[in-house]
Amino acid sequence: MTQQLRELMLLRHAKSDWKDDSLMDIDRPLASRGKKNAAKMGKWMKQESLIPDMILTSPAKRAQQTLKRICSECGSQTQTVDALYLANLETLKSILAEAPQVERLMIIGHNPGLERLFNFLNSGTEESQTDLFPTASLAHFILPENWENLQSGCGKLLRFVRPKDIKLPE
């Protein structure tokens, strides 16, 4: 019997606005560039038929605004997960272990946690690499069906896309 596979999409929130230093970090909105890049990524995902079955997102305003722009037309189920706000690798692995059993799951979150999860799944290391996971970037993995005890290096990276890599038809 062959093992089933599931897809995981990691999306870092789009570029946030730092203009108002009176705001708490969780309340920072998207910058103009972030709004544009999130919408661009959403259009590209639709064009590529990369629509997640379920999206788990951080409660941070910038992550929520990214979700809104990415999936304005995707119709995916969404759930805000408080623990995704600035989650570290262990928290992200725990969230994945308890994630709904859908074929394609997306997480919208933050660095350095997403970058560390990317490295853990891709190569088995969690060392941070500068600028590995820029804002509004998407990593698309194939993983084993069971996510309860993910092993380092268990993911197969299908693609990694940054907004600047995307060329949409005019």
In-domain check, residue 170: no
Phi/psi of residue 65, each to 5°? -70, -35
At 130 the pLDDT is 46
- Domain holding 132, by residue range, is 5-165
Q: Which two tokens stand for residue 161?
A: 């896309």
The reply to whether 50 falls in a domain is: yes
CATH of the domain at 78: 3.40.50.1240
According to DSSP, the residues that pair with 107 across neighbouring strands are 10, 56
Domain-located, residue 52: yes
The reported pLDDT for the residue numbered 126 is 55
pLDDT recorded at residue 21: 87
Predicted pLDDT at 125: 55
Going across the sheet that includes 54-57, the strands are 77-80, 54-57, 104-109, 5-12, 138-144, 156-161
The alpha helices in 100-166, defined as continuous H runs, are 113-122
Is residue 7 helix, strand or coil?
strand
How many domains is the chain partitioned into structurally?
1
DSSP category for residue 8: E
Is residue 138 domain-resident?
yes
Note down pLDDT in tens along the chain; length 170 residues. 445 689 999 999 999 998 888 999 999 999 999 999 999 999 999 999 999 999 999 999 999 999 999 987 677 899 999 999 999 999 999 999 999 999 999 999 999 999 999 999 988 555 545 458 899 999 999 999 999 999 999 999 999 999 999 988 76
**What's the pLDDT score for residue 74?**
76
